[in-house]
Amino acid sequence: MYSNIYIMKYIFLFSMTLFTGFLFGQQQPQTLKAGEKNATVSITPEILWSLDRVSGVGISKDGNNVIYKVSTPKMEDNSFSSRYFMIPLQGGQPKDIDKLDNYILSKNISPDGKYKLDHKEVLVDKIKGSDLYPDLKKSNVLVYNELGHRHWDKWTEGKYNHVFFSPTAEGTDMTTDIMNNEPFHCPQQPFGGDEDYIWHPDGKSIIYVCKKKRGTEAMQSTNTDIYQYFLESAEHKNLTASNKGYDTHPLFSKQGNLGYLSMKTDGNEADKQDIVVVVGGKTTNLTKSWDGTVNQFIWSEVGDKIYFTAPIDGTVQIFSVGIPSGSKPASKVEQITKGDWDITSFTGISGDNLIVARTDMNTAPELYNYDVKTGVWKQITFVNTPKYNLISKSKTERRYVTTTDNKQMLVWVIYPPDFDPKKKYPTLLYCQGGPQSALSQFYSFRWNFQLMAAQGYIVVAPNRRGMPGFGVEWNKQISTDWGGQNIQDYLSAIDAVSKESFVDKKRRGAIGASYGGYSVFYLAGIHEGRFNSFISHCGVFNTQSMYGSTEEIFFVNNDFGGPYWDKKHSRAYTDFNPATRVDKWKTPILIFHGEKDFRIPVTQGLEAFSAAQIRGVKSRLINLPDENHWVMKPQNGLLWQREFFKWLKETL
């Protein structure tokens, strides 16, 4: 239920202590006995939440070192602390650093060094009662005349993100709002940052991303464009006016050529995402004919090609594509890495050294150096390695299941570390959210397959219809068909794996969040006794009330087909509405919901809980008052895990 153009980077350093759980005096993680060699422990929620989180920052000014950040959960403070480090490109001993500006070039300083960019909120619209009526300073009222009244997890108070430039010279405090008090955002909300604005290489203009629509119109559109602002004339030029979908993430090569990410269709946040370049005044879509969708990209140092990441066959890999030059056309897309891992982000490039974050289902992200010339990988950070050396691994297996329409579907199966095929195991069907999100080798601090398997569960994770990585048609099929083929794909997956003797058919559960939470609610009404327990997090329960209460209307317009009062789209609100199938609910269900979730409002979870309770179905509601669609605070995250496994222990 969030745009594919935003990819969150979660990351980690580290300390030899295996535990944070001792702070709570209960459910302590297993410890190693003194003198015990080559021993391992199964990962627990406490160990998971003791892991540090590693993210790349960039390449140092001299091109010889990698700058990265380590964020550490501080469970006692319910927060995170961060430190910055520098390490040679080929690995070695990391060094603590403090002021980033001493080691890395700031993209926000103009090429000539005269100006700097920044952004801040500007009050444009009077919405608060105290702004509308200055004599009522203690009023706590918000007045709206259009949609956009709330977004993601915040109520709108009339403030907009605006980009400013100001002189770098000391003693000058003049700042210029390049958006001139307009009611538009840059950076984009809710996830945009300073990647939404950059300097043009000539230093005379600023490139920025903006959706120049407001209110009800903005909430029904994804038409985000890339603009050029000229410092001398204060004029704005729309560089992508002909495209009606998303245009984002502008990035110049060292040679001064512009590249950006683009989606074609207005209103479809999960459309095929392409790389577009402007070379010699000519605009070219480099990936138009390629049957996939791009996550992110980076220019090669000599500017002759672009490297990008994309989902493929249940993983996220690096691809390359050549840049057109003169009469020479762009080269075809080439996949240049392969393996059971995800490339989660680019840190930077130095010569042939591409620095990336890489993860898999058994390990949180670390930084790697990939030599694009030789194809050789080298891990350069080992922040969590000492802990992982003491944690038993789960086996992950690829299976291909025949679907009801005779297609081959990849299904990840994750086994407990000490798996014995002669035993029977409780089994969980994992339902991915999105609904158009890749189910790959990700490492989550909530939906963590390693952790689930370590508690004795087999996890079945199908790459059902709607997921990228299997061609554009497979990816887009789910829109307007939420309760259709993809639900059958879930059942095909669990039925196929359940044929194995080690699956305990009397102890099967279905779990998921967002669209995965919808899937759980929907399966609860149609599963015909397959499952003995359900867990839904921030799931859509009632498609009609979802349409009337979510904030980004373009999402439900695209995925439901349109509003519930238009009878052409009635299937989304009848056949595919979990609320219409509650009369079949019999199976215990746990419902998590964040009270600040405005994408799938908390009323969805409340409706589902009420229905289950009134029907006499064993059920539990976990309300998270200060969380949104995700769970971000350390203590809430640990509590979530404890309640998750407590419920499974009760019901399976």
Q: Based on the residue annotation, tell me whether 514 is a catalytic residue of this protein.
A: yes
Angle between helices 515-523 and 485-497 (to 10 degrees): 70
Amino acid at 274: D
How is the beta sheet containing 533-537 ordered, strand by strand? Answer: 395-402, 408-415, 458-462, 425-431, 503-513, 533-537, 589-594, 619-624
Active-site hit among 3, 253, 514, 519: 514
d(CA 531, CA 506): 8
Q: Based on the residue annotation, tell me whether 629 is a catalytic residue of this protein.
A: yes
Question: Considering Cα of 638, then 640, then 646, then 649, what sign does the dihedral take?
Answer: negative
Other residues' Cβ atoms within 10 Å of the Cβ of residue 371:
14
Active-site hit among 125, 196, 274, 597: 597
Residue 635 phi, psi dihedral angles, 5° rounding: -70, -35
Nearest to 536 by CA among 587, 489, 583, 467: 587
d(CA 489, CA 471): 16
Amino acid at 96: D
DSSP for 427-494 reads EEEEE--TTT---SS---SSS-HHHHHHTT-EEEEE--TT-SSS-HHHHHTTTT-TTSHHHHHHHHHH
CB 390 within 8 A of CB 41: yes
DSSP for 188-220 reads PTTT--GGGEEE-TTSSEEEEEE----HHHHHT
C-alpha distances in Å from residue 45, one per residue of 42, 447, 454, 641: 10, 11, 10, 6
d(CA 626, CA 242): 41
Q: Based on the residue annotation, tell me whether 597 is a catalytic residue of this protein.
A: yes
Other residues' Cβ atoms within 10 Å of the Cβ of residue 485:
17
d(CA 21, CA 47): 7
Active-site hit among 162, 185, 537, 629: 629
Catalytic residues: 514, 597, 629
